[in-house]
Structure formats: structure tokens, C-alpha cells
């Protein structure tokens, strides 16, 4: 028996050498994150390369969920398509207060702003009374405005979308991430929505007082981001949401992020998408 041990030892040694190479081979062949998709924390998302209509990443993309103030993009679309005078002055009323329960506003009853300023604040600063006043002053009133919002959703092919009011404070305003990408693309085609939604700040005059409003999306003021249209949103039922179109690595990219519970998670996810795209491009080029 003792004469057989050297052969056995040699066999074991060969096996050990072979096994030691397996982790290295696995590490070399395992797919990287750049190939498998970005590591995102939002519960639902949809990332579309609009340059060639290619879906880059998605999760729960066809499930309709509450969309919070992303609603205001649709409100803006139908208000602008109604072609009412943008310089017409509209007063904030008690109806606008009652129509936006549980939300705060610096626009008191009696404040008078132009339709353009109300639209600017609704898109940039997510001002709820502004959005409600715009819809209230729509031809035919609030209900006609909401009907127009649902008709527009249907025209855009948003099969899961449903709107019951213009601000997004109701959890009954729902849509899937995939359908919201269609809304973002339509909104991005409108110059006013692009300009108003991405403006870092805007000052309005109310009762001889200047009020400064800032954008709810931190990315619009970042030099390393080129955001062309955007909207944020939050209610408890929807979590923190962000939709936008941005130029990333020379591509027009639509990003939909829904139900991001951390305060900065949606911003972090947007940055992770950009980093992933840039890393993927570098990996392909290399």
C-alpha cells in the first residue's frame, strides 16, 4: 500500500492545482454589472434609450402604481394644448385650497399670477395650488380638464394610466413606468414644458412681494447633468418618484423611477444609471 501513496499524492496535487484555477476562471467569465444592468433601489423603474428606442433596464415596468406629482406633466400638456392666453391673470381661490388637502403653499387665497407663472411653478417647484388653479380655469372647469388628461393618456397609448385630479395628491392617479415613459417623451416635445421643468429657480410677484421658488430636482442645476425635461413627485402611497429625459453619453435617455423611499434614493438611482451607461460604453470601447 505504501508504494501507492506517491501516485495518490500526485493525483491530489493535480486536482488541487486544477481547483485553484476555477475561481479565477469564474471571476474572468462572470458578467459584470455593466452587462447585467444598474443596481437600482427604486421599487419600479424603466430606462429607455430614446435615440434608438431600446429598453436598457426595467423592473415592474407594466404595473400601474400611484404616480404623485408626475401627474403635473399631463396637466401641463392639456393646459398648453387648450391654447388659452398664457398672460391671462388667474387668482388662487378657496377651491384651490380645498382641492389640495394636506399640502402647504405660499400662494394664499387672492394671490394673482399669470397662467405662465402658474405653469412654471407647477412644473418646476411642484406647486399644487398652481396646478389646481390651472385645471380649474381650463375651458369647462376642473372635470373637463381631468377628462382631457385621460383622453390625452389614451391618445399617447398609456393603457394603464388613470387620472382623477390635476395635482397628484390623490393615490388614484396611476400609471405604469412604461406608460410614464410615453408621457415624458410627449412632454419633452413641448418647448415650454422643457424650459419650465428644468429651470433651477423662478421668482414671481405676489401682492408687491417677490417670492422665490426652487426646482425640486437637484440634478437640473448640476454641471455634469444635461436634463431636458423632468418632474419629481411624492405622496406616501407612491414613495419618492422621478421621471426625466437627459442626455447621457451622447444619448437621449428617458428615466422613470417610482417608489424610492429614501430621501435621496431617486437622485442616487439616476446617478447610478448614468455611471452604469458610461461604464458600459467604456467597456464596449475597450
Residue 24 lies inside a defined structural domain of this protein: no
- In the residue annotation, 170 being an active-site residue is answered as no
Sorted by sequence, the CB contacts under 8 Å of residue 174 that are 6+ apart come out as 64, 65, 66, 67, 160, 161, 162
Residue 17 lies inside a defined structural domain of this protein: no
Residue 15 lies inside a defined structural domain of this protein: no
Mean pLDDT calculated for residue range 53-62: 96
What's the CA angle centered on 220, arms 214 and 223, to 5 degrees? 125
Give residue 282's pLDDT. 65
Residue 196 lies inside a defined structural domain of this protein: yes
Which residue in 3, 33, 42, 72 is the catalytic one? 72
Q: Convert the pLDDT of each residue in 77-110 to its tens digit.
A: 999 999 999 999 999 999 999 999 999 999 999 9
- In the residue annotation, 72 being an active-site residue is answered as yes
Residue 2 lies inside a defined structural domain of this protein: no
pLDDT of 263 higher than 50: yes
- Could you tell me the end-to-end alpha-carbon distance of the chain, in angstroms, rounded to an integer? 56
Which residue in 33, 43, 53, 69 is the catalytic one? 69
Give residue 103's pLDDT. 93
The total domain count for the chain is 1
Q: Convert the pLDDT of each residue in 122-160 to its tens digit.
A: 999 999 999 999 999 999 999 999 999 999 999 999 999
Give residue 208's pLDDT. 86
Instruction: Kindly state the helix (H) or strand (E) to which residue 12 belongs, with its residue range.
Output: helix 5-29
Residue 7 lies inside a defined structural domain of this protein: no
Domain span at 170? 35-285
Residue 13 lies inside a defined structural domain of this protein: no
Pairing of strands 227-235, 239-248: antiparallel
**Among 161, 137, 48, which Cα is nearest to 88's?**
137
Residue 141 lies inside a defined structural domain of this protein: yes
pLDDT band per the 50, 70, 90 thresholds, residue 284: low
Q: What is the CATH number of the domain that holds 178?
A: 3.40.710.10
* Predicted TM-score of the model (pTM): 0.86
Which residue in 42, 126, 176, 197 is the catalytic one? 126
Give residue 280's pLDDT. 82
Please, what is the average pLDDT of the chain? 88
- In the residue annotation, 33 being an active-site residue is answered as no
Amino acid at each position: 500500500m505504501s508504494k501507492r501513496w506517491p501516485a495518490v499524492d500526485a493525483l491530489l496535487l493535480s486536482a488541487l492545482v486544477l481547483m485553484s484555477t476555477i475561481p479565477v476562471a469564474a471571476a474572468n467569465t462572470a458578467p459584470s454589472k455593466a452587462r447585467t444592468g444598474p443596481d437600482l433601489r427604486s421599487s419600479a423603474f424603466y430606462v429607455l434609450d430614446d435615440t434608438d428606442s431600446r429598453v436598457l433596464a426595467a423592473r415592474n415596468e407594466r404595473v400601474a402604481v400611484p404616480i404623485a406629482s408626475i401627474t403635473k406633466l399631463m396637466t401641463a400638456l392639456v393646459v398648453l394644448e387648450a391654447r388659452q392666453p398664457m398672460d391671462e391673470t388667474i387668482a388662487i381661490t378657496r377651491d384651490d385650497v380645498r382641492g389640495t388637502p394636506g399640502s402647504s403653499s405660499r400662494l394664499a387665497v387672492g394671490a394673482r399670477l399669470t397662467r405662465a407663472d402658474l405653469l412654471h411653478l407647477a412644473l418646476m417647484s411642484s406647486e399644487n395650488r398652481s396646478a389646481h388653479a390651472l385645471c380649474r380655469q381650463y375651458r369647462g372647469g376642473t372635470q373637463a380638464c381631468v377628462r382631457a388628461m385621460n383622453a390625452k393618456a389614451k391618445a399617447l397609448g398609456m393603457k394603464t394610466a388613470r387620472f382623477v385630479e390635476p395635482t397628484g395628491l390623490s393615490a388614484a392617479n396611476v400609471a405604469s413606468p412604461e406608460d410614464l415613459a410615453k408621457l415624458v417623451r410627449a412632454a419633452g416635445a413641448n418647448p415650454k414644458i422643457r424650459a419650465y421643468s428644468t429651470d433651477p429657480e423662478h421668482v414671481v410677484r405676489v401682492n408687491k412681494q417677490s417670492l422665490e421658488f426652487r426646482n425640486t430636482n437637484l440634478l437640473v442645476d448640476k454641471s455634469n447633468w444635461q436634463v431636458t425635461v423632468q418632474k419629481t413627485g411624492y405622496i406616501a402611497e407612491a414613495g419618492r418618484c422621478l421621471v426625466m429625459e437627459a442626455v447621457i453619453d451622447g444619448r437621449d435617455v428617458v428615466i422613470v423611477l417610482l417608489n424610492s423611499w429614501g430621501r435621496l434614493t431617486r437622485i442616487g438611482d439616476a446617478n447610478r444609471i448614468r455611471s452604469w451607461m458610461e461604464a458600459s460604453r467604456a467597456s464596449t470601447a475597450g
